Amino acid sequence: MLFLASNGYRCIAHDRRGHGRSSQPWNGNEMNTYADDIATLMDALDLKNAVLIGFSAGGGEVARYIGRHGTKRLAKAALISAVPPLMLKTAANPGGLPIEVFDGIRAGSIADRSKFYKELASGPFFGFNRPSAKVSQGMIDWFWLQGIQAGHKNTLDCIKAFSETDFTEDLKKFDVPTLIIHGDDDQIVPIGAAALASSKLVKNSTLKVYTGAPHGLTETHKEQLNADLLSFLKAEKLVGARFPAQRQ
């Protein structure tokens, strides 16, 4: 956001309900309400010609927003390391991850949430478990703080929301230029059942695969990502475009 704002774009971030500086409501921690929360924000600010960008679970929010509210306020969209179309392995989605993976995440969160976030950050999220990785303690601490700041019930519910929600029909409703970016070494949201599948469902989409990039490429590959996003925004000369970004 700092980079794009420095290049003349108005950047707006929201904290998903239960996360960041949001309140921590017991209910509504699922994709329909997440998408409606975005719609409420965009309507309140009367955003037009917006570029809606979502990272990871935020990509699901973007997809469900378009599925429920359309693109009348949008000029473009972008999905970064995003969970659509569906993370869970099913008969119709054999490339997804088995439910045991997500049950393990839930168990880790309940048993020792702080430890779970630290191990996730120091391991697969940023690819720091790879032999050649340059580990950043700062990134680990930042990720842990983001996680522990969120409500326990909210994050627990969010696991089901990002893993079991099927966004296939939402993606078919995209009718604005869409940029899809994913790392081919994403150990959290494997690229095969995510970006590669989404790019086949979204009309007028551009897929960019970052070689060797992990899930958290927003930090590990931020210069490359910044350049690609800026190029994407400039392509249609969207001067003064509204850019609601997901803070995560």
What domains does the chain contain, in order, with CATH numbers?
A: 2-21+30-225+240-246 (3.40.50.1820)
Question: How far apart, in whole angstroms, are the C-alpha atoms of residue 29 and residue 33?
Answer: 7
Q: Is 0.85 topped by the overall pTM?
A: yes
Q: Is the peptide bond before 94 cis (omega within 30 degrees of 0)?
A: no
The number of helix segments (H) and strand segments (E) in the chain equals: 11, 6
**Under 8 Å between Cβ of 246 and 54:** yes
Per-residue pLDDT tens digits for 199-217: 999 998 999 999 999 999 9
* Catalytic residue set: 56, 186, 215
Which element (helix H / strand E) includes 178? strand 178-183
In DSSP terms, 51 is beta-bridged to: 76
Q: Do the bridges between strand 74-80 and strand 50-55 make them parallel or antiparallel, or are there none, so unpaired?
A: parallel
Question: How far apart, in whole angstroms, are the C-alpha atoms of residue 212 and residue 15?
Answer: 29
- Give the model's pLDDT for residue 141: 97
Using CA atoms, how far residue 113 sits from 20, 108, 135, 216, in Å, is 16, 6, 21, 19
Sequence-distant (≥ 6) Cβ neighbours of residue 145 within 8 angstroms: none
Question: How far apart, in whole angstroms, are the C-alpha atoms of residue 148 and residue 117?
Answer: 8
Beta-carbon-side half-sphere exposure of residue 73 (alpha carbons within 13 Å): 21
Give the relative orientation of helices 31-45 and 57-69 as an angle to the nearest 10 degrees: 70
Which residues of the chain carry a pLDDT beneath 50?
Answer: 237-248
Amino acid identity of residue 120, one-letter, is L
- Give the model's pLDDT for residue 238: 40
- Give the model's pLDDT for residue 204: 86
- Give the model's pLDDT for residue 108: 95
- Give the model's pLDDT for residue 240: 38
Question: How far apart, in whole angstroms, are the C-alpha atoms of residue 189 and residue 118?
Answer: 18
Q: Which of 56, 152, 162, 57 has its CA nearest to residue 109?
A: 152
